[in-house]
Amino acid sequence: MHIATCVWQEKAAAAAAAAMGAGGGGGVGAGKKGERVSVAALVAAAGGALNCAVSLVVFSVLDVLDVVLCLVYKLVDYAVEAEWKACYCTAAARDGAGPRILVPPEAAAAAPGPKVVRLSASSAKMQLEDVSDTLYVRPSLLADATRKGAGPAAPALTVSPAIAEMIRGKMDRPPRPPRQAPCWSDCDCKVCHAWSAAPRSASHLYVHVQAPPPGAPAAEGVAVEDVVFIHGFISSSVFWTETVFPAFSAAARGRYRMFAVDLLGFGRSPKPAESLYTLREHVEMIERSVLQRYRLGSFHVVAHSLGSVLALALAVKYPDAVKSLTLLAPPYFPVPESEAGAATQYVMRRVAPRRVWPPIAFGASMACWYEHVSRTICLTICRHHRVWDRLFRILTRNRVRTFLIEAFMCHTHNAAWHTLHNIICGSAARMDAYLDVLSSELSCKVSIFHGRDDELLPVECTLAVGARVPRARVTVYDRKDHITIIVGQEELFAAELEAIWRSAAAE
C-alpha cells in the first residue's frame, strides 16, 4: 500500500509538527505562529458552530416540507394515475407496525438485516429481499439530536402488497406483469424509457461493448481478455465510454473486450417501478446481461463509487473468474463496535451528515434523508433533462461535452432512492465480510484509487479498504475529487488500467 502508507505518515508528521508548535520553540517567531494557529482554530470553530446552527434550521424546515410533500404527491398520484402510491414515511412503517409473515429462522439468518417478502416479477416464486432500515427509519434532525441510545429498532420482516393480496385469498390470481409505463413524474424520452417498448429488453441491462477489431488479437498471437466497467451512483456507462474508452492505446483496444453497463434504474437500462433495487437484483442483472449473455469465463472489473460494492459482491461470488479488481472511491465506512447494532444508520450519517456546507454534503443529505424532497429534485431535474441539456449547450456555445448531464439525470426517483439506501447504506454490514474474503481467500490483483479532495466520500474510505486488504495497491491523487479522479486525466488513468491488466496477466 505505497501511497496509503505515505498518507498516514503525512498525517502523523503533521500532528507531530502541530504538537511541537504548541508546546515548544520559544521566541518571537514561535509566538506569532502560535497566535496565527489560535486565530485559525477560533475561526474554524466559529465556522463549524455557524454551520451546525444553520443546518439545524434548514433541515428542520426540510423535515416539515417532506411531510407536506408526502400529502401533495399522494393526492397528485391518485388524481393522475388513480392509485395511492406507497411511501416509506408513514408511521406504520416507522414503528414497525406493518403486516408481518413468519419464515424459517435459517432463511432469515442467511443474510443479516431487515427483510421484505415479495413476489418475483418474473415468476410466482417468493423471495426474501434484503432492504436497509434507513428506508423507513430516518428521525428528524431535532429528534436525532436529542435521541438516547441507538434509535428505534427496525422491523425484521415486512410484507409487500403482492404477498398481502395472496394472504387475503387471491393466491389463484396470476402475478401482475411488471409495470413498464413511466410514472407521471418520470421522463418518458427514448433515452430513459426505450426499454419499455420491447419486453425482451426489460430483462437485460443496456451494455456498451467495445470489442477488438476482427483479427487484431490473432495477428499479435494474444488471447482476448474481458473487462467489466461499473459506474457509480446517479451515473451511467457514459462515465467510462466518454472518458477512458477513447484514451486506451491501440494495443489495449486490440487485446481487451470492454463492457460498460448502465445499472438497473439508470441510463438506458430498465427502470421497473416495482423493483426494490437491492444488491441481489443489481448483481443478478449484471450476471444476466454481461457474464451469461457474453459468456465471460474470466474478467477484470473496474468500478467507481457505489459500483465498488457491486464489484466486491461479484468478486466474492466468482472468486476464480476475477483477474483484477480496480476500485475508485469505494464507499467503505468501518462501523465502530458501539454502532454495530445500527450499522446502516451510521453509514447514512457519514454519507449524508445533514450539513449545509459543503454543498455536496447538502445535496447528499437532501437525497438521502427526505424521500419526497428527493422526488421533487428528480421531477425538476431528471424529468426535464433534455431542457437542461439544451440550455447547457446554448450557454457554453456547445464547447463543453454534456455527457455528464446525461449520466447525472437519466434515472428515476424510485431507482435512485432504493439504490442509495439498499446498496450504500444497506451493505454496511456486508462490506467487512467482502473485504475479509478478498484479503484472505481471493488472489486477484487489487488496486484502489481516490482523490484527496473528494468531499462526498473522504479519502479515509480508501485508506480503510487498504488497511483491510494489505496486498492492495492504493493510489491517492492530489487535487482530485470524486469526478476529476477520471475526468480531466483520462489518458493517465487509461495507462494505469492497462498496466494493472498486464501485471495481472503476468502473475
* 305 in catalytic set: yes
pLDDT band at 425 (very low <50, low <70, confident <90, very high): very high
Radius of gyration of the chain from its Cα atoms, rounded to whole angstroms: 24
Distance between start and end Cα atoms, the chain: 18
Assess whether pLDDT exceeds 90 at residue 223. no
In whole angstroms, what is the distance from residue 432 CA to residue 368 CA? 23
For 187-220, write each residue's pLDDT tens digit: 988 888 888 877 677 889 999 999 998 766 544 5
CA neighbor of 264 nearest in space, from 251, 249, 281: 281
Assess whether pLDDT exceeds 50 at residue 110. no
* 231 in catalytic set: yes
Q: Which of 208, 385, 411, 482 is catalytic?
A: 482
State the average pLDDT for the chain.
82
Between 66 and 172, where is the model more confident? 66
Between 144 and 217, where is the model more confident? 144
For 248-306, write each residue's pLDDT tens digit: 999 999 999 999 999 999 999 999 988 999 999 999 999 999 999 999 999 999 999 99
* 204 in catalytic set: no
The answer to which of 27-41, 150-164, 427-441 has the lowest mean pLDDT is 150-164
Sign of torsion, CA 417 53 358 311?
negative
Q: Which of 77, 133, 454, 481 is catalytic?
A: 454
Domains of the chain as residue ranges with CATH: 190-506 (3.40.50.1820)
In whole angstroms, what is the distance from residue 468 CA to residue 462 CA? 10
Mean pLDDT of all residues in 129-134:
85
Q: Which of 231, 372, 413, 450 is catalytic?
A: 231
pTM over 0.75? The answer is: yes
Assess whether pLDDT exceeds 60 at residue 97. no
Q: Which of 160, 305, 365, 374 is catalytic?
A: 305
Between 217 and 425, where is the model more confident? 425
